Amino acid sequence: MRGLATLIVLVWLAIGALAAWQRGYFSTSEQNCASIGTTFVTVVAGPLNYMGANPQVDCGDLPEPSE
C-alpha cells in the first residue's frame, strides 16, 4: 500500500513538473519570490494544471533587511 501511495505522489509531481516546463518556468532566469513560488505551486498542483488551474504567487511588498 505504501509503495502505491509513493508511486501516485511521484506521478502527481511529475505531471506538475511537466506543466511547469511547458509554461517555461524552468527556463526563465528571473529568480524572485513570485517566480519561484509560482513554479513550486504549479508542480504541487500536478494534474490540476490540465483541468484549468493556473496557480500564481504574488509576494507583494516584502520587507527589506536592515543594513
Q: State yes or no: pLDDT of 29 exceeds 80.
A: no
What tens digit of pLDDT does each residue of 35-63 get?
888 889 999 999 998 998 888 888 877 67
Q: What is the pLDDT of residue 18?
A: 94
Between the CA of residue 26 and those of 3, 46, 61, 63, 67, what are the distances in Å?
29, 15, 24, 26, 32
Residue 32 CA to residue 48 CA, distance in Å, equals 24
What is the model's pLDDT at position 14?
Answer: 96
Report pTM: 0.76
pLDDT reported for residue 62: 67
Q: Map out the domains of the chain as residue ranges.
A: 2-51
Taking only the tens place, the pLDDT of each residue in 18-28 is 999 998 888 87
